[in-house]
A and B are shown apart, each in its own frame.
Chain A
């Protein structure tokens, strides 16, 4: 096995920032807004670096699809311990319509060209909450998938994954190469310290265009409009059970 792990990292609006819808309702305001690495991607990077520190794999490659600023996100991954980065340049309208299908095609192409043993992604991004890229990437590669991983153990030619599912925990054993997606409890990501950020400047980031990977970025989805959630209406207090029943009948719920 190549011993190479591909980790996908996405640059998203920081989770603590209040989102504002653009006045033309085509999306949300991103200009100048604080961005950071998707929290689940941080966990994915941490897991890959941990595997390398245990000497179970040899190289961690961080990938991000996006505009120029995605390089900052890759640098953070490099500072956490990734060895090199790949920046897939997507900007402008293409970036606005970039979604899980195109990203998984890109990751599948890179997984093949890099001969990756594992692809580790965050389970979902906190901006679109799609939870699709990992699964689609596995399907395109025809590789097994271990999603919502809260524990990963590498074995000879296989990987054991404990998955967080609705009913509790499910443990599976799948063949490598495989795609894993990281859930919250998988690990606690380390800090990207200043000395490591300085060292990361010397690590290599290769620039790639989606066309070079044979990927067509045309979206099959068209965003019609983006709106804020409706304002929460005040509730009404009722005095008796009879009042409650009649109010429920009034609004047609009963």
Chain B
């Protein structure tokens, strides 16, 4: 069956801050220069913003560059940060750490935002400028010209039953061809994973390292509400060798809403560690519980985020395409911010592409345009300077003193020297290879959820609004069906049962006979990508399900 194909000048995969900023900038340039430019953006979420999840404290630098009159246009930056609190938590107490000017986590001048709402607003700006937005359609395949350059993407075939056979409603996906394709899939994109291999983009950089971030929205007792207050913590309940920490932000949008969450570095070594349960028990710390008591949880979600920073940035351009945003990864880890750099990368991509796609004669060796100028300009921009200056902070946590060594390093080398030290520390390697065998580790006793402050996994997943068409092949694919029981369960006690924040993976007894099997509850998936990252056998391959499936986050 032939696929319907259409042509655009630029195709953008992913409707997040990077993709939308690139789209907006392209159309701004097109209008400025009175050129016609067809920009198509595909996004797997059912509506723009529905798969967006972040803390978030937005640094408005890139936004002001892109849309200087964002305030007049009603951008939802309603909560300027008024208070910055940092604590090292112990089981019952806290040690405050002053956030002196110059430290990366200082938030003066920034805004607490509900990133999903901000992304939705960016989508409206893009549509006004004439960008064709197609939420609910997932880019499933990269298309190539005969010369090996990228030709565009294809959306997935839909209407396939669980067993792989076509249903009555089967429809082939569509091909979108473009002069150049921008890939902005966010952290650990599945098409980016293929592109790294295809074009050997990672041969000169460290592997990317990640963390998982779990988040909830709570309506709290008005008496406890302090709009504009940001709280961060490290320490309890994680031990000093497990990187991670928490955030709690008081929004100012009418009701007493707080956004809170917990981040766990995915380079942890104990397979019994359960990030979801760490998050739930952190909320019981007296300092945190005091804010949440009497409140009501209204949302839940999770997403992997990058921690590799400068050392892990891959080659960004290849014939026919570019990587933007958290997909290649421009997150400033100690600042815990990646939105401003993602947006800037989108803007730079647009500015580099524009002259090439509007040129009368395409000056390119390959059918798909190669735009190395994007990468060169990025290296000259503030994004590069910023990431370079904080490059050693995250790796500095790999020392005998763990967390404390890292904080001391940050204090000396960042605060005083602004990252000018001449060395660059390396990361430890793939997160997936950091797990120790279960027999060498101690199981962790997690408390039971109390149903008021802490909750069980399944009721949390229900709050994410996630759903998928049930009768489709599971999108969590296994390269080798025998590996989960033979290796993951046998050696590591099935860590996927614990690191998945949506209960997708369960080891259950086989129906007849002895032994266990891996049950994949694909419908629960919240598209966080943690399994693809942390599977010690690297056997799980996340592919995109039918478009429109996944979480239904609202302003997360």
Contact = CB atoms under 8 A, between A and B. Distances in A.
A32 B158 contact: no
Q: How large is the interface on A (under 10, 10 to 19, 20 to 34, 35 or more residues)?
A: 20 to 34
B169 A18 contact: no
Given A16-B467, A190-B171, A197-B134, A34 B554 contact: yes
A46 to B, nearest CB: 9
A198 B555 CA distance: 27
A34 B50 contact: yes
B88 interface: no
B465 A16 contact: yes
B155 A32 contact: no
A111 B463 CA distance: 41
A32 B117 contact: yes
B169 A189 contact: yes
Nearest to A69: B47
A193 interface: yes
Contacts of B169: 188-191
Given A16-B466, A34-B47, A34-B552, A194 B116 contact: no
Given A36-B46, A193-B171, A195-B4, A17 B159 contact: no
A36 B49 CA distance: 15
A25 interface: no
A33 interface: yes
A229 interface: no
A128 to B, nearest CB: 20
A89 interface: no
Contacts of A115: none
A16 B158 contact: no
Contact of B552 (A17, A20, A31, A191): A17
B552 A14 contact: yes
Nearest to A190: B169
B181 to A, nearest CB: 16
Contact of B463 (A18, A189, A197): A18
B168 A188 contact: yes
Contacts of B505: none
A4 B343 CA distance: 49
A23 interface: yes
Nearest to B114: A32
B120 A191 contact: no
A64 B554 CA distance: 24
Nearest to B132: A198
Contacts of A33: 552, 554
Q: Which 6 A/B pairs are nearest by Cβ-Cβ distance?
A: A16-B467, A34-B552, A17-B465, A195-B4, A32-B554, A194-B174
27 contacts: A14-B552, A16-B467, A16-B552, A17-B465, A18-B462, A18-B463, A18-B465, A20-B298, A32-B49, A32-B117, A32-B120, A32-B554, A32-B555, A33-B554, A34-B46, A34-B50, A34-B552, A34-B554, A189-B169, A191-B169, A193-B158, A193-B174, A194-B134, A194-B173, A194-B174, A197-B134, A197-B137
Given A32-B117, A32-B120, 18 more contacts: A15-B467, A17-B465, A17-B552, A23-B255, A34-B46, A34-B465, A36-B46, A188-B167, A188-B168, A189-B169, A193-B158, A193-B171, A193-B174, A194-B155, A194-B173, A195-B174, A197-B134, A198-B132
